[in-house]
Amino acid sequence: PNVSIGFSKAAMLSPSGQCFAFDHRGDGYVRSEGVGMLVLKPLAQAQADGDAIYAVVQASAVNQDGQTTSMPVPGMDAQEAMLRTAYAQAGIAPGHVAYVEAHGTGTPVGDPIEAHALGHVLSADRPQDAPCLIGSVKSNLGHPEAASGIAGIIKALLIFQHELIPANQNFERPNPNIPFAELGLQVVTEPVPLPRRNGAEPVIGVNSFGFGGTNAHVVLQKAAAAEPARPERSTPTPRAHRPYLLPLSARSGEALRAYAAAYASFLTESDADLADLAYSAGARKTHHEHRLVVMGETRADLQAQLRAYLRGDVDA
């Protein structure tokens, strides 16, 4: 426990036990653990292999704060330089960035510095009515430290996949030391569609900073909608027809409807085995208050049940 004890004595950890990223209650961060993995390929190779492409890495940049007032205190100038380098390499105007998955630890010093750096760079040529949206996955799962960057990227990929930005958790009122409107930034407080500008595929930036002053930023862009022909796959071994139960749940009725619609689309697009899908939904998911169960022997049966629910023909 020596590391946690040291961080606690340095007043880095939250006494309240939560990460209040960009919130007025920000008082430190919560340590957590995590692991993530990505498959990286040259774009042409991924297209030739028929891979599902979640995003294209347009550029990345890494630099170092150098000397600051103390080792864990970030450097605003270095963060700004990193951002300018990344978007210059990507050939993307910073004002076109739709969303930034911020480092956002919820610390009283770090959050304002990061927000000012983002605003100084990303507000250039940005319409006043189109602020850059920001959030931090640390408000959901704490700070996994060495794994925090990969967590932010995975969240960005899911945003691309669903074209929906989730709300930043634990956000009550803005940090008074961050002039969000002046900086052209806005914390996402409820799920919103991923914005598009000038008809181009949306761009997301991901920040991740190290305890010793290392700064990193990745520029991601949603892959083009056109999908390559997929290579032939072996046909799965047929199973005897039997009814499958597909349980779905969410924290609100609206979220449950969105979840049901997503599953209806997934059943059309995916060749996942129904037995595996039903098992995972029942045994590997958290079951929330608003629930729906559909039953069917085939993919079409399950889709019909889901669509009937979405039409209002059946109740949850």
Read off the pLDDT of residues 252-296 as tens digits, 9 standing for 90 and up.
999 999 999 999 999 988 888 899 999 999 998 889 999 999 999
| Measured distance CA(162)–CA(193) in Å, rounded | 9
Domains of the chain plus CATH, in order, are 2-221 (3.40.47.10), 244-311 (3.30.70.3290)
Q: What number is the average pLDDT over the span 28-34?
A: 92
Among 212, 217, 203, which Cα is nearest to 114's? 217
Range 71-95 burial, b when 16+ CB lie within 10 A, else e: ebebbbebbbbbbbbbbeebebebb
Six-digit token string for 70: 């103390």
Count of C-beta atoms within a 10 Å radius of residue 46: 17
The three-state secondary structure class of 180 is helix
Q: What is the pLDDT of residue 316?
A: 56
Please write down the long-range contacts of 264-271, taking CB distance under 8 Å and 24 or more positions apart: 264/303, 264/306, 264/307, 264/310, 267/299, 267/302, 267/303, 267/306, 268/303, 271/233, 271/236
The whole-angstrom distance between residue 36's C-alpha and the CA centroid of its chain comes to 13
Question: Which residues share a beta bridge with 205?
Answer: 100, 219
| Measured distance CA(27)–CA(30) in Å, rounded | 10
Read off the pLDDT of residues 82-121 as tens digits, 9 standing for 90 and up.
999 999 999 999 999 999 999 999 999 999 999 999 999 9
Burial label, 28 (beta-carbon count in 10 A; 0-12, 13-18, 19+): buried
Is residue 292 within 8 A of residue 248, CB to CB? The reply is: yes
Q: Is pLDDT of 229 > 70?
A: no
Is residue 99 within 8 A of residue 207, CB to CB? The reply is: no
| Measured distance CA(28)–CA(7) in Å, rounded | 10
**pLDDT averaged over every residue in the chain:** 90
| Measured distance CA(72)–CA(214) in Å, rounded | 10
| Most distant CA atoms of the chain, gap in Å | 68
